[in-house]
């Protein structure tokens, strides 16, 4: 059994006041923002990542913090954390179509074995378990907006199935641990999120469009661009996850922005905000690309008192500034 490596910098012993948190995939786009947020709240944060899609640069500024520690490790290996843990955030997984096309087996293992390992740790530590699920559990939905009660329309053997089914399995495993072992489970179905620290080669619409626009290259839109996405700025998402952690909501909850925009409209807005002269180039629609994506956030509003606050144009300006840098 492969055991965890020692933290790069020592994880401070538990102290009174504040929480002690583990974030898997914490060097990724979402995980690093989550780590930064909780450090700012006065908590202790241990990040675990193997850098398949995460980046050390995302957590470099956090390394000197006395309440931060990092372990380079695959989440499917045995995880050992000395001392108390109050919460386990399982965010480790390739998360864009480009990533899970390149790493299909790793994606499935992160959703299956990684979920099993982290749930076992949460059970042992009597910690709250927060699972990063996804709107992709709804597949190419036949209803819009998508409520948590919708079971989805997923192709389990298509190219996107490795991610969709990994997350659906992870949800099932988490609920089984809740029912059988009384683990306090929180499941966030995360809709399209964007912001600083996304990778240029991420493969998702916003970083693709910004990178192409800033370089003066054609902005690639698939199909006719009529498919829709609902974009949530990362700070809004992190705030929602914090509220979820401190809630008693034991069933999946959508966290995303219900404002729906067509892909081509997003491309045109990014072209305008960057001042780019790029043309929009249309290419064939990928297999199983969802035609609509819009969350019903009634549950989050009612139970978490949460809704997004950052308008799309403001969030895109902040993201463009990051990509310019």
Q: Which helix (H) or strand (E) holds 23?
A: strand 20-24
- 8 A C-beta contact, residue 160 and residue 308: no
CA atoms within 13 A on the CB side of 314: 9
The structure tokens listed for 84 are 């108390």
Q: Is 163 a catalytic residue?
A: yes
Give the CA distances from residue 291 to residues 76, 222, 229, in Å, rounded to whole numbers and listed in that order: 33, 11, 9
Catalytic residue among 100, 103, 163, 194: 163
- Give the chain's length: 325
Q: How far apart are CA 25 and CA 93, in angstroms?
A: 7
Q: How far apart are CA 145 and CA 292, in angstroms?
A: 8
Integer Cα distance of 129 and 132 in angstroms: 10
Catalytic residue positions, numbered: 163
């Amino acid at each position: 059994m492969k055991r965890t490596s020692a933290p790069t910098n020592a994880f401070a012993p538990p102290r009174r006041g504040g929480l002690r948190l583990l974030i898997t995939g914490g060097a990724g786009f979402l995980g690093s923002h989550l780590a930064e947020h909780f450090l700012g709240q006065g908590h202790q944060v241990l990040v675990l990542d193997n850098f398949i899609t995460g980046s050390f640069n995302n957590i470099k500024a956090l390394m000197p913090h006395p309440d931060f520690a990092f372990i380079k490790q695959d989440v499917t290996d045995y995880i050992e954390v000395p001392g108390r843990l109050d919460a386990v955030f399982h965010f480790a997984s390739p998360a864009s179509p480009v990533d899970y096309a390149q790493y299909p087996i790793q994606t499935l293992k992160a959703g299956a074995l990684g979920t099993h390992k982290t749930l076992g740790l949460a059970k042992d530590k009597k910690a709250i378990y927060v699972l990063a699920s996804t709107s992709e559990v709804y597949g190419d939905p036949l209803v819009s907006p998508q409520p948590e009660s919708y079971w989805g329309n997923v192709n389990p053997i298509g190219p996107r199935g490795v991610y969709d089914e990994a997350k659906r399995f992870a949800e099932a495993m988490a609920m089984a641990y809740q029912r059988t072992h009384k683990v306090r489970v929180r499941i966030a179905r995360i809709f399209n999120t964007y912001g600083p620290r996304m990778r240029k080669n991420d493969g998702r619409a916003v970083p693709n469009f910004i990178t192409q626009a800033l370089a003066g290259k054609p902005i690639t839109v698939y199909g006719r661009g009529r498919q829709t996405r609902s974009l949530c700025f990362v700070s809004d998402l992190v705030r929602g996850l914090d509220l979820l952690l401190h809630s008693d909501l034991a069933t999946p909850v959508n966290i995303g922005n219900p404002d729906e925009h067509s892909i081509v409209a997003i491309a045109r807005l990014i072209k305008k905000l960057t001042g780019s002269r790029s043309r929009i180039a249309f290419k064939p629609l990928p297999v199983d690309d969802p035609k609509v994506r819009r969350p019903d956030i009634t549950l989050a509003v009612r139970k978490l008192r949460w809704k997004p606050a950052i308008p799309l144009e403001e969030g895109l300006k902040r993201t463009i500034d990051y990509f310019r840098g």
